[in-house]
Amino acid sequence: MNLRDRIGRLRAALFQVGVAARRLRPPQRLQAFEVSDGHISGILVINLDRQPIRWRRIQQELGRFRTADGASLVHLTARLPAVDARDGRETAPTADVDPIYHMRDQLFVQPDERLAASFGPDESIRMTRQEIAVARSHVEAWKRVASGTAEAVLILEDDAYFVSGAARLIDRGWRAARRADGSGPQLLYISYLDAGGTVQWADVTPHTRRPVRGLWYMSGYVLSRSGAQHLLRSMPVVGPVDLWINQRFAELDVLALARSALMQRPDGGSDNAYSIMPYLARAGVVDAGPGPVRPPVTGGGVVFAWNAGETDAVGMALSMLGYRVCSGGRAQRSGDGAFDAYVDAPLGPGLSSLLGPEVRCVVMAGPGRQGRLPDPAAQTLPPDRTLIWQPGETGLYRWEPLCQFLGLPVPNHDVPVGTDRAVGLFRCDAEAAPQGAAVHLPQDASPWILPGVRGQDHAGAAEQVAVFGAPTVHADLSTPSPALRTMTETFPGNLATFESAGVTFGPSGATLTLQASAGIGRPFRSGALAAVDTFTYGRFEAELQAARGAGLVTGFFLHRESPRQEIDVELLGSDPTRMLVNVYFNPGDEGAAIGYGYRGTPHLVNLGFDASEAVHTYAVEWTPTGITWLVDGQVVHMRPRWTPTPIPHLPMRLHANLWAPRSVELAGALAAGTLPVSSVFRRITASPLNPAELGMERQATDTQAPTAQASSSTEPRQETRPGPT
């Protein structure tokens, strides 16, 4: 357990002790609440069906208070079932919520120079499923208020609690907010957070404030019937609801208490995810993404599964649930237990011996199957341990049947479509742990890393395993290239912020210079380049001279988020005689916000020269069957599939940079007295994989992975296309 975990648990324990002590005190009177004109006469609590404990807690919290006429606040309270982010139907597009908003919307609420410098105002941002669910839940609350009889209703999220002195804050604020006719404002914030110190107030009194913009959170607010009706007329909600509501302040009679009377409980876990966080991290505003996500935990036992069509949907779904998935018949060839899910294993008599009492089977039923197992599955699979996973009425598959069958929680992502089965994403080309001269560094404890299997050094080899097309990026960096842009952002773990001024072009190439920063934010500034386009498979090459010095890294790599995937070439200034190669793999379709892990699967490869003394050529060849690293045309390291991870399969962007890691263990400590320091990129090329290569891979995979409707042969054919082994 790290220190943050200990502090968090201690804080939660102390909070629970305080809650228990408060319940021993006599109930407090809240004069603002009563079923009569001029009072808050209803309370609506937004609560998930799967969170009954939170519902009981909020009832206990409300039971600490009495209305003006002596009744418990619980008597005014109704529960509103929250929209669940785990249900894809509930977070599907509707007329109520538009999931796409823009950077200008974020900057309106919380202006930030670094964010504005890194992204244009038209940069589009897609809400997370959690944000969509929260917005839709509040919209349902507004509908209830607009159609109800109460003139003013307190809307609460179920993790709220009243701070010390809350009764006094609310009563004084409500009295100050009431108009001459006795009615209250259309919207009164009981709980809020100043947006990074940028909130603007139009009017400030001892007990209330009138906001212009700059308030986060909607865990507790009083909404009038007319206010609810106005919000419904203003829909759709565009972006996170607490962001969108700021743009309604000019249209509504909105007030906030002098300070928050409600806070969010620190003893309840949250699986919320914020769409703006990756942008804040890239701009250097924060130094973390949404936070570490524990890898999924499988329900135990082995799973055999079969796809219904041409995509590996069931394999991807099981991988997203935390299973180490292998496809294409390895279960027949190996009993090593390295995998806990086998996809599209050949059906027939030979399979029966592998289906022990702990094995469960999943068969995706295609349209028209109506719950029937196809032959020969009906004669092979145990019916009491087999799930026929059928699509719903809309033709889409849902997580609930699969997760209930496996005893796992439903993830906050859509059921995947998966990759084309021709890609063979989860096929395993590693039969044993190969030996090589690379130094294997500590790696993530991830369900998508195969323990004991490593990539292999191939020093001096000159083999080529794939055919690539003409370069789509061919940049002589003596002048700026239209295919590459200078970066004005950063990433978590980097002590430097990238700026356009950090890149200069000249006869020797693009010079990336890292130096001390005189501005706010991170202590250093540097330069970076990124390709305008993204790539799925190809050959990527750079002629470069690395920077020398502790605390420096010259990087040439492919990267993406949602899900996070990455292929790295990194030259450490603390030891420029070695190259760090690394892969990050997370499963999912485009948009699945899976980004577990911080170290990936790193290996140090000996170069045999000092990369800071002269220009050398570094290349990555990325194909569906493997990744090959080359230096000066010679293969130095290779990773086939599942050696030790699946191969990244989604489009990535090519980057070149010079950065300063926070991690002293990675590259040493940077001494400011050694700056400025530079690395030089003389040329960058990117060549896509020849489409014929994918066609040959389709041929090979189709012979290896028969579906539940295919032949009963138990002997898979060997792949016909040459590849790394």
Active site residues: 570
CB atoms within 10 A of CB 395: 7
Residue 560, beta-bridge partner list: 565
Report the distance separating Cα 454 and Cα 463, nearest Å.
20
Specify the pairing of strand 124-126 against strand 100-102: antiparallel
Which residues fall within 8 angstroms of residue 94, CB to CB, at 6 or more apart? Answer: 136
DSSP tally for the chain: helices H, then strands E: 16, 42
Planar angle of CA 189, 194, 199, nearest 5 degrees: 95
Report the distance separating Cα 628 and Cα 638, nearest Å.
4
E strand intervals along 319-442? 325-327, 341-343, 360-364, 386-389, 439-440
Q: With left for phi above 0 and alpha for psi between -120 and 50, is residue 89 left, alpha or beta?
A: alpha
Report the distance separating Cα 519 and Cα 121, nearest Å.
23
By three-state DSSP, how is residue 233 classified? helix
CA atoms within 13 A on the CB side of 444: 22
For tokens 């949250």, the residue is: 270
Rounded to an integer, what is the distance from CA 561 to the centroid of its chain? 7
Q: Do residues 486 and 500 lie in contact, with contact meaning Cβ atoms separated by under 8 Å? A: yes
By three-state DSSP, how is residue 315 classified? helix
Instruction: Give me 350's structure tokens.
Output: 């030979």
* Whole-Å CA distances, 488 to 120, 502, 509: 11, 9, 20
Report the distance separating Cα 25 and Cα 39, nearest Å.
25
By three-state DSSP, how is residue 325 classified? strand
User: Would you say the C-alpha torsion 505, 566, 574, 611 has a positive or negative sign?
Assistant: negative
- In single-letter form, the type of residue at position 444 comes to D
Which residues fall within 8 angstroms of residue 642, CB to CB, at 6 or more apart? Answer: 326, 426, 427, 428, 429, 430, 450, 453
* Whole-Å CA distances, 358 to 297, 299, 303, 439, 688: 17, 11, 9, 38, 44
Residue 621, beta-bridge partner list: 539, 628
By three-state DSSP, how is residue 13 classified? helix
Which residues fall within 8 angstroms of residue 37, CB to CB, at 6 or more apart? Answer: 151, 182
Instruction: Give me 131's structure tokens.
Output: 């944000």
Report the distance separating Cα 432 and Cα 117, nearest Å.
49
SS3 assignment for 29-46:
ECCCECCCCCCECEEEEE
